[in-house]
Amino acid sequence: MALTDIAADPRLIDTTSHDGAFVVLHTLTTYTGVSLNRDFSNLPKTVQYGDALRMRLSAQAKDRAARDLFRRYTDETVQATARSRYLPQQTARHLQGMRPSDDDVHAQAALIVAATGMQIDKSDTQRTRAIAYVPAQAPERLAELAADVWDDTQDARNKMREAIDKSLAARAKKIPAQKNTDSDTAEPSGRKGPDTAGIAAPPLPQHIIQRAQAAFAPGISAELAVFGRMLAEVPDATIYSAAQVAHAFSVDPIATIADDWTAKDDWQDLGVFGAAGKGTTFLASGTLYQYAALDRRAVRTTLSKSASPEETENLARLAEQLFITALTYATPSSARSRTGSTTCPTLTIAATTNYPFTAAPCFESAIEAPAAVTAAQRLAAYLRRSQRHTPLLGGTCRWLPPGGEPCPELPASLTCEDE
């Protein structure tokens, strides 16, 4: 979906006309028999809160789902972003198209990527040692730079190729050595562990380094302005997140079931009975409360580094719309094909304020199922009581009750959209 299509999306939530330094989001969403977020034991994540054990959806899982929905609007545009370790590989692909007859394309691509400050992974020189979160156009920008400075970087390219060859040779030698290691040939204790450092760039002119790092600039990416990024190896490229996303938790005690399943072998015959495979999936049900907030000033500060004042304001409004809409409707994809977990919130409150706060305290006492309507009434009452100290300045509410119940009484500054 192109950026121009967002205004036609019926899910769009727009709070940009209201004053306030922050936008806050409160949602209540009921899930039945889902596996949204699991721990290392393959069990639904939980949190003990108040008087009950609750179902939990981690902020990371919700954040990832929101980014994916965010990108449906920004893919194939200058807004697009990507998170990957395969920056050298992608840069080399673009460079190969520019210099198809050259053999040193991989070394040159690795050199220019390393010029940004990112180190090349010794075990796989197609990757960086750390993950990079960059504009999707970064590999193309780096490839253009690599082609421009090809003749000026021959010595550095040769050194990078030698470093790559040395790493690959060392790895090829190490793998069979590991297979043949036994107690008689084991290395003595106290020896240093494996070298985890990557391949750094040899000395390069400062203007090349600056141009390489410019490829990482957020430009006009609303996603980077909202969610931020940390590049440990390139501290100057860090962008602080303008968003707060809390762990969602159920307002009612978690209800779990063990779903035992079997897989049939379609070619199994000749009187042989039984399953070709079997297993157990743990599913959970509950009504989740989700809180998130967006710092409007932080979004504009990031965007203003690459855009004019008018562009900054337009992009900031777009970022706000995408953030609120994505956080409201995004559902983690875990086990989606066998649980049909995507659903709409029962209650969505998107509002502006100068004092962002979570309403989690109003759910310290768990609600017995069915919880959605009671939780909505409790949340609305809590927000009304908080108006004196932390007022909501304006915003909207979307109400989709399970049984046609009337919208709960909201703060006067909010308007209710009955679904």
Q: Is the CB of residue 352 less than 8 Å from the CB of residue 395?
A: yes
pLDDT of 339: 79
Residue 36 pLDDT more than 70?
A: yes
Average model confidence (pLDDT) across the chain: 87
Residues 77, 137: Cα–Cα separation, whole Å: 10
The string of DSSP codes covering 199-212 is BPPPP--HHHHHHH
Tokens representing 398? Answer: 């979307």
pLDDT confidence bin for 192, thresholds 50/70/90? very low
Residues 71, 224: Cα–Cα separation, whole Å: 11
126, 128, 132, 138: CA torsion to nearest 10 = -50
The residue type of 96 is Q
pLDDT of 146: 94
Domain ranges in the chain are 3-79+241-418, 82-181+200-217
Q: What value does the mean pLDDT take over residues 211-240?
A: 79
Q: What value does the mean pLDDT take over residues 317-332?
A: 93
Q: What value does the mean pLDDT take over residues 411-415?
A: 95
**188 or 276, higher pLDDT:** 276
pLDDT confidence bin for 134, thresholds 50/70/90? confident
Q: Is the CB of residue 331 less than 8 Å from the CB of residue 37?
A: no
pLDDT confidence bin for 189, thresholds 50/70/90? very low
Q: What value does the mean pLDDT take over residues 145-150?
A: 94
Residue 4 pLDDT more than 80?
A: no
Q: What value does the mean pLDDT take over residues 96-108?
A: 90
Q: Is the CB of residue 249 less than 8 Å from the CB of residue 56?
A: yes
> What are the tens digits of pLDDT across the range 114-123?
999 999 999 8
Q: Could you list the beta-strand ranges (E) of 8-51.
A: 22-34, 46-49
